[in-house]
């Protein structure tokens, strides 16, 4: 079979021909074809009993999993991830999974073991942490004992996180410490609170903030007849993204878009959110993430990679390479 380029500079029909070729890739006929992908947002968890998280008797099973959609209440280990991205050339960074505070150290130890046993596929991690907690500086010091620690996240979008938490003085000071330690901070925030992210970015100019999931932009806001009410208006979210993009220490993670749509979406449904972020942040401040396995509520990692490939097909190859892996390599200082 002729080796298709990925993603192709092509019209729609050519895209589908390429996608059909891609099926061959997925079945392993053309292993290693396609761009090098650095997935900056890989979750792994165990849903319950067993030593799936590499031999630990207790596992960092996130408490929110009990109330999560059935699709997510399973074991998602490295083996399952490899299956999900089979045929693509993918390396990844583990993204914390919002474990209970008492399990943060366990998560760190577990993911370190996963990474060290992954044959170079899991390059490191963005660990769960509490920037506003007393003793955070000491905790950061311990995190850095493992070279794979690239950054920290404390989710700001979950139901239990109070609005405005990330602009409280203690939190801001913790995020500044991360910058001093050469670590990033991932901002996963409700789309109506992007203004808080702007304030945090301005207060921490020496810390790189990575905005998760396109600022949790809801692709339904751009549909003519969405089935459900979108989480925000198109213009409200667009303005927030533009303000954040003006902060030079903020990077936008292109991820999480399919999760906002019901099944049956097409690449063109995702394009307004993706393109607005790519245009606002420019070619050097965007990174790619699958958000696997959370993405499964909207579609497979494979479907997301293909759809994003279609959306960016008309952009120059050098720009696409930066998005798929080049920028992440630089930002997280990986070879
Ligand atoms: Zn995620």
Q: What is the pLDDT of residues 222-239, one digit of tens each?
A: 998 888 899 899 999 999
- Roughly how many angstroms between the first and final C-alpha of the chain, as a whole number? 32
Superfamily of domain 35-331, CATH level 4: Metal-dependent hydrolases (3.20.20.140)
Task: Please write the tens of the pLDDT for every residue from 66-97.
Answer: 888 888 988 899 999 999 999 999 999 999 99
Q: What angle do CA 14, 16, 288 make, to 5 degrees?
A: 100
Beta strand 184-187 with 36-42: parallel, antiparallel or unpaired? unpaired
* pLDDT digits 0-9 by tens, 303-322: 999 999 999 999 999 999 99
* CA 39 – CA 278 distance, rounded (Å): 17
State in Å: Cα 294 to ligand 1 middle: 6
User: 66: exposed, middle or buried (C-beta count within 10 Å: 0-12, 13-18, 19+)?
Assistant: exposed
Using the mean position of ligand 1's atoms as its centre, give its distance from the Cα of residue 49 in Å.
23
Read off the pLDDT of residues 29-40 as tens digits, 9 standing for 90 and up: 223 457 899 999
Residue 266 CA to ligand 1 center (angstroms) comes to 21
Query: How far apart are the CA of 12 and the centre of ligand 1, in A?
Result: 30
Q: What region does 32 belong to: left with phi over 0, alpha with psi -120 to 50, or beta?
A: left
Q: Which tens digit of pLDDT belongs to each residue from 8-53?
A: 333 343 343 334 333 333 322 223 457 899 999 999 988 764 444 5
The answer, yes or no, to whether residue 3 has pLDDT greater than 50, is: no
Phi and psi, residue 80, nearest 5°: -65, -35
- Contact between 16 and 302 under an 8 Å Cβ cutoff? The reply is no
Burial of 133 (0-12, 13-18, 19+ CB in 10 A): middle
Q: How far is the CA of 201 from the centre of ligand 1 (A)?
A: 21
Q: Where are the domains of the chain?
A: 1-33, 35-331
Q: Tell me, in angstroms, the distance from the centre of ligand 1 to residue 186's CA.
A: 10
d(CA 191, CA 126): 21
């Amino acid at each position: 079979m002729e080796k298709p380029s990925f993603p192709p500079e092509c019209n729609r029909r050519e895209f589908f021909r390429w996608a059909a070729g891609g099926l061959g890739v997925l079945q392993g006929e053309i292993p290693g074809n396609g761009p090098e992908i650095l997935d900056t947002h890989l979750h792994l968890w165990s849903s319950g009993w067993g030593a799936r998280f590499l031999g630990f008797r207790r596992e960092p099973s996130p408490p929110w999993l009990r109330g999560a959609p059935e699709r997510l209440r399973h074991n998602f280990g490295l083996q399952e991830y490899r299956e999900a991205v089979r045929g693509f050339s993918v390396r990844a960074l583990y993204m914390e999974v919002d474990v209970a505070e008492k399990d943060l150290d366990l998560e760190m130890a577990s993911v370190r073991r996963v990474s060290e046993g992954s044959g170079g596929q899991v390059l490191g991690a963005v660990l769960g942490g509490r920037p506003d907690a007393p003793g955070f500086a000491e905790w950061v010091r311990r995190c850095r004992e493992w070279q794979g620690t690239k950054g920290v996240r404390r989710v700001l979008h979950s139901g239990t996180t109070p609005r405005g938490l990330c602009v409280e003085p203690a939190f801001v000071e913790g995020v500044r410490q991360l910058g001093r330690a050469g670590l990033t901070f991932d901002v996963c925030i409700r789309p109506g609170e992007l203004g808080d992210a702007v304030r945090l970015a301005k207060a921490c100019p020496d810390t790189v903030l990575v905005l998760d999931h396109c600022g949790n932009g809801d692709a339904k806001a751009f549909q003519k007849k969405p089935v459900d009410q979108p989480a925000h208006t198109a213009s409200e979210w667009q303005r927030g993204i533009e303000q954040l993009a003006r902060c030079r220490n903020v990077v936008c993670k292109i991820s999480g878009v399919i999760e906002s749509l019901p099944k049956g979406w097409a690449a063109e449904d995702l394009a307004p959110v993706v393109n607005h972020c790519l245009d606002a942040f420019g070619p050097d401040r965007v990174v790619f993430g699958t958000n696997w396995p959370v993405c499964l509520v909207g579609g497979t990692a494979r479907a997301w990679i293909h759809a994003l490939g279609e959306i960016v097909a008309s952009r120059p190859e050098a720009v696409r390479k930066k998005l798929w892996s080049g920028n992440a390599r630089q930002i997280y200082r990986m070879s």
